[in-house]
Amino acid sequence: MGDARTVLVTGGHGEIGGAIVRRFEAAGDRVIAPTSAELDLSDPAAIAAWFAREAPAVGALVHCAGLNRPAPFEQIDEALFARTLSVNALAFVDLARRCAPSLRAQRGSVVAVSSLYGFVARRGRLAYVMAKHALVGAVKTLALELGDDGVRVNSVSPGFIDTRMTRQNNSPEVIRGFEQRVPLGRLGRPDEIAEAVYFLSTPAAGFINGHDLVADGGYSIGGFQTP
């Protein structure tokens, strides 16, 4: 669909990010997906150095990197708290600012991977909830400022996806509970999130700007109720 673009994908070596990379590559786009060792998003100096070195002419930016380490709020480690905010949210703004000239020149687009926790909260997830709420706020504001130049900025909020992150942070009983409460009766797959991200990045979504596309099998629409 459309001309091949250079697409910068963060978190592209994770489970959802890997599916996103494969989706763009399948469409013929050139994907740049640095590992966290190559581009540490918790470190503004590392971000500056990477852009100075690589100077990518980005036509689409996908921010999928994320960090979610549960802890009751009084026990959150301060360094981890700062890292969670940086990787999920602050780095996104930094990346968008650095990609803005080429995005404007190509009338490109930006997609951030948020979460249900970008609009609701959960016990023991303060840093992640704060970070994803901040990310969604950034998406909406950038949709206005970059929208002036034809650059669309949107987010995808996955529900519970069958990934290591979900299995690490939830017991098997909790995961069974999710499966029962999701109207479609299952967790989502990384490729289903990749498809939503890809769609938002293409001209097929040409009039969609500042939108959060919830891909959760209908979990949130029923008010998170049991069946």
Ligand X SMILES: NC(=O)c1ccc[n+]([C@@H]2O[C@H](COP(=O)([O-])OP(=O)(O)OC[C@H]3O[C@@H](n4cnc5c(N)ncnc54)[C@H](OP(=O)(O)O)[C@@H]3O)[C@@H](O)[C@H]2O)c1
Alpha helices, DSSP H only, in 161-224?
164-169, 172-181, 190-201
Is 219 noted as a catalytic residue in this protein? no
Least CB distance to ligand X at residue 160 (A): 5
66 counts as binding ligand X under rule CB under 6 A:
yes
In the shown chain, the binding pattern of residues 164 to 183 toward ligand X, with x for contact by CB under 6 A and - for none, equals: xxx-----------------
What distance in Å separates the CA atoms of residue 181 and residue 207, rounded to the nearest whole number? 32
Helix (H) or strand (E) holding 111: strand 109-113
Residues in CB range of 67: below 8 A, 6 or more apart: 83, 84, 87, 88, 128, 131
84 counts as binding ligand X under rule CB under 6 A:
no
143 counts as binding ligand X under rule CB under 6 A:
no
36 counts as binding ligand X under rule CB under 6 A:
yes
Other beta carbons within 10 Å of 75: 7
Least CB distance to ligand X at residue 18 (A): 8
Q: Which residue among the candidates 117, 128, 198, 219 is catalytic per the annotation?
A: 128
C-alpha dihedral over 216, 222, 226, 227, to 10 degrees? -90
Binding site for ligand X (CB under 6 A): 10-11, 13-17, 35-36, 39-42, 64-68, 87, 113, 115, 158, 160-161, 163-166
Which amino acids are annotated catalytic?
A: 128, 132
